[in-house]
Structure 1
């Protein structure tokens, strides 16, 4: 039996019978064609004089092939299929004695192949069964996957073996490709979309990087204790380690630990090429993802919005977690409809539905017609000194000239330590809070904090953190599961075989009761005050001004809670400390936070100056509280 793959608008072609509103599981999974091909990337990354071939494992419905019916492709290009595995259970590819693929990690094949899709899993260059070298987001990584899209559309050469000459064509596909993947895999999808390759209809990046510099550095401050060479060493095959030493050296030399922007980072910045994107985008990100921070999502989203790219987003309260593991039923339904629309042409209305799904509390979701909401306005808040050192206020009025706060960097303390002691005068931070809110206040988008500081030493790292002060039950994003617990029972998604069952361990929310919630954070090296391109020592006793980019978020500070801004030094566990331990003087009159508030300036006034009177229009605000020119977010 074959599925009817006719979009609803073509009912006349089927004798007036209305086609189904979604693809149905009518193809057999156990009889599916399982094969491997090797695609020529037209690169010679390992310098052996032969162009590199990347391994491509394919599973597709046999009945469609026998009937001459072409199918679209769901593709996940990854470096992790042999080293580390995919998904919550770290599944790897497996093969039979003849080298034919048996297990395809994750559920995409089990669910979608019976519904008339092919699933294609690509080993990036230098990993598993592919030639070449891993270059961590560079030309080789992106070309590994782009070449496969080209092959699926008849523009590249494929072979039936890694070294043989027997050609292989993809006459079984329509050429319509949707790329999907979490973390590195989703990053490759972003990078391939940024080439503008024809045939790539949609991408689904989950917790994905948009610029590799921002993965390793925050305006010059190092975020991890190693660079891209460490990641390459982890994922590349044993064979590649022997032949890819020159590539490893280039990764080390091109990514100096001083945080300077180099040509290596320009090659790995996909945001600058957002104007080339032709594919629609369904993005997913955990707002508490401290691995791939939401700065990546925020800047990519804004760049796509500026180009008018069709897009949709899910924002969860988890860390670095796949939506299959925090909202399984709804996610599979959404993904099914998304691929049906973009790859099979179904007019199922998904593109007309709300743009954003946002998790408000563990398992509780809301939607928005657009994201950020159209009435979101950049609103400037300003810190002022309070009744004790380091315990100030946050509001609309600027501090008087000469007002300062001082703090000393303590690399042992983190944002959690600062937030837990916001109402105490402690030497390691400067904290500023609003009065208790009379109304809910929603932040939606990316923030910036502009600081003027005077250091006591020749180097300094700085952190700015937004905190919701008040009790809440949250997902325990700092726990082992980053907001989920893995259970012992399994649920099945699609069809299976003994080698690939399609059944996965269930999960549940892992929650925690807290007295405060960190909403967003950002970091910088003071030596990069003028540019991320080049940093250096600063002069003790001289004031410097710099802007910290805070990660995108969507958070409601409830009535009765307070919104707080913390300015401090090293955020332990998240950025590396500076070479020295400075004392920093913060010029309050030249410090401000630009926040994306839904309702803008007026919403902040209503929330902080509420009480019996409700200010529903800007022109009814009390004297002295009327806003400056308002700035809409994209």
Structure 2
């Protein structure tokens, strides 16, 4: 993707569509919308019909849409929307804010800073309760048709294609005459997932989405190439419905019946995979993801990004070293400024130069960012590295074998520690210390030819950078940040709706190795992810499975290792009959996204290394939430 191609698209799109009006002259100064709307905002709730009857009560469901918009102006305004299931059960943001209402049930407290900051600048903020949550009717179906339709219907209402009312039942019709109809959807985790899913419908009026730590395929949240992570969507549905709604029993039963524990892909999962519909996306995309996110794993961002790139969708990217953290809490001032200009451009039509700035920003060390015109992951070349009896290198193994015994009590950190010591539970293949930096950026894969000793076998693979480094401590509770007692304010505070939030700072860890990509598979799905088959002990099977998306520089002097094992107890469930697994090294390889391709590999392998890691830390305590995406 050339920069001149995709950044030329916005202006043309605005002119041709005529749908993003340029803001009024007194609203914009120095390329930014200004807080000129100082009156108390209009705050109201509109109940929008979804066209569905998820709770099967014979009445079309309505979703509650809480709105804050500028008062005292006839100038139509665009909308910033966050559609979420978390407004009553879990809260939003680092301080877990919930919606609040006054004595008459009118919306009062809006979580996050969007209304405080953007409403005075001429935007409406709409916080939508997904069907089945908070004040909305219907049922949660965890990324399925109900979830996506309940958010899409609100955009349709802005365009007169759905009906809205001033009451949850009955009531008077309400129209959005105050809006331009242009929408930017934003949200972290489940919320950003809904933005991805709605964008994949191609709905009219959605101009941009800002998915933060978001899911693109729900299968890859709960499963991975035939293996299960040990938790299921019905638990999340019950949680966000505040324990489960009795009239949503049939929906919960479908979530249980159609998500088999063996990890097979079923229609339930394909219905919740937005990647194949990326060709319908007409909105620009500003994606943010933590490279240390072990909750919504980086494969979610990587496969979505690749599909958008193939269609040349206008896009921007931030990759942090954090875990599942909002950029408001790891790069606050820069985030608010960038988001401000992004929305100004895509929703107000302001020519502010943001489309000429670097498209990608990657955190290379705590609070140290590197910008580039386009993300190098789009130009990285798939490059094969081969495990050999003498290590890992660009040349295929002439032969040889390796083996390990699946021990479901161990995990990836047990395997990665003490790489110079043999372990019966994993096979480890390492380069010599590199003579030059080697950058991996994108989504890789591992191909194994494995010989199981039992009818069932699970596989895990990971890439490890061995060498000393200081990184964000994404394995600890804050996932790379620490919340402070000081506050900073972003926008206008009003009674019941504070614009001030606790500051944060980076937490760091000194490490001697870092796992930079990982993947898992069920060898019984080697022929198809839709049908697991029993294995014949002693027979070789070949299977290719994915590694998580990464962007990592392995420094000169460090070693890059490929580890292959059985059950990674930190993530996946064990097979019914764990056993020994043999590897045919001549038919096993890792295909990695190397920036610079094979020449970069050859350069990094040349010369004599000078540094070798000799310390290895205790195994980190990997804390995983197996019930729901962290909010």
With normalisation by structure 1, the TM-score equals: 0.91
Q: Distance in 2 between matches of 1:125 and 1:372?
A: 39
How far the C-alpha of 1:280 sits from its partner, in A, is 0.4
Give the direction of change, closer, same or farther, for the CA distance of 1:383–1:457 in structure 2 (3 Å limit): same
* Contact kept? 1:372, 1:444, Cα under 8 Å: yes
2:110 counterpart of 1:113: no
What SS does structure 2 have at the residue aligned with 1:575?
coil
The match for 1:132 is 138
How far the C-alpha of 1:374 sits from its partner, in A, is 6.0
How far the C-alpha of 1:164 sits from its partner, in A, is 2.0
Give the direction of change, closer, same or farther, for the CA distance of 1:266–1:18 in structure 2 (3 Å limit): closer
Q: Given the alignment, which residue of 74, 78, 92 partners 1:72?
A: 78
Q: Given the alignment, which residue of 548, 552, 573 partners 2:549?
A: 552
What SS does structure 1 have at the residue aligned with 2:533?
coil
The match for 2:283 is 279
Q: Given the alignment, which residue of 19, 36, 46 partners 1:26?
A: 36
2:238 counterpart of 1:233: yes
Give the direction of change, closer, same or farther, for the CA distance of 1:94–1:598 in structure 2 (3 Å limit): same
The match for 2:158 is 152
Q: Distance in 2 between matches of 1:38 and 1:467?
A: 51
How far the C-alpha of 1:231 sits from its partner, in A, is 0.6
* Contact kept? 1:438, 1:607, Cα under 8 Å: yes
The match for 2:515 is 518
What SS does structure 2 have at the residue aligned with 1:62?
coil
What SS does structure 2 have at the residue aligned with 1:63?
coil
1:338-417 superposed matches below 5 A? 338-372=342-376, 375-386=379-390, 393-401=391-399, 403-417=400-414
Q: Distance in 2 between matches of 1:331 and 1:549?
A: 31
Give the direction of change, closer, same or farther, for the CA distance of 1:18–1:128 in structure 2 (3 Å limit): closer
Q: Given the alignment, which residue of 29, 48, 64 partners 2:57?
A: 48
Q: Distance in 2 between matches of 1:375 and 1:50?
A: 51
The match for 2:449 is 452
* Contact kept? 1:464, 1:523, Cα under 8 Å: yes
The match for 2:182 is 176
* Contact kept? 1:126, 1:237, Cα under 8 Å: no
2:574 counterpart of 1:570: no
1:154-553 superposed matches below 5 A? 154-223=160-229, 225-237=230-242, 241-372=245-376, 375-386=379-390, 393-401=391-399, 403-553=400-550
What SS does structure 1 have at the residue aligned with 2:539?
coil
Q: Distance in 2 between matches of 1:566 and 1:504?
A: 42
How far the C-alpha of 1:421 sits from its partner, in A, is 2.0
Q: Distance in 2 between matches of 1:228 and 1:535?
A: 21
What SS does structure 2 have at the residue aligned with 1:162?
coil
What SS does structure 1 have at the residue aligned with 2:376?
coil
What SS does structure 1 have at the residue aligned with 2:361?
strand
| Cα displacement string for residues 496-532 of structure 1 (whole angstroms, at most 9, x for unaligned residues) | 0131111111111111111101110000011111111
Q: Distance in 2 between matches of 1:543 and 1:450?
A: 13
Q: Distance in 2 between matches of 1:523 and 1:534?
A: 17
| Cα displacement string for residues 306-345 of structure 1 (whole angstroms, at most 9, x for unaligned residues) | 1110111101111111111111111111100110000000
Equivalent pairs, count: 592
1:552-631 superposed matches below 5 A? 552-610=549-607
* Contact kept? 2:378, 2:442, Cα under 8 Å: no
* Contact kept? 2:392, 2:431, Cα under 8 Å: yes
Q: Distance in 1 between matches of 2:23 and 2:86?
A: 46
| Cα displacement string for residues 424-449 of structure 1 (whole angstroms, at most 9, x for unaligned residues) | 11111111111111111100101111
Q: Distance in 1 between matches of 2:551 and 2:607?
A: 22
What SS does structure 1 have at the residue aligned with 2:149?
helix
Gaps of 5+ in 1: 1-6, 387-392, 613-634
Give the direction of change, closer, same or farther, for the CA distance of 1:414–1:521 in structure 2 (3 Å limit): same
Q: Output the aligned Cα RMSD.
A: 1.9
Q: Distance in 2 between matches of 1:50 and 1:193?
A: 27
Give the direction of change, closer, same or farther, for the CA distance of 1:72–1:13 in structure 2 (3 Å limit): closer
| Cα displacement string for residues 346-405 of structure 1 (whole angstroms, at most 9, x for unaligned residues) | 11121221111001011110012111356521111101003xxxxxx110111123x100
Give the direction of change, closer, same or farther, for the CA distance of 1:533–1:497 in structure 2 (3 Å limit): same
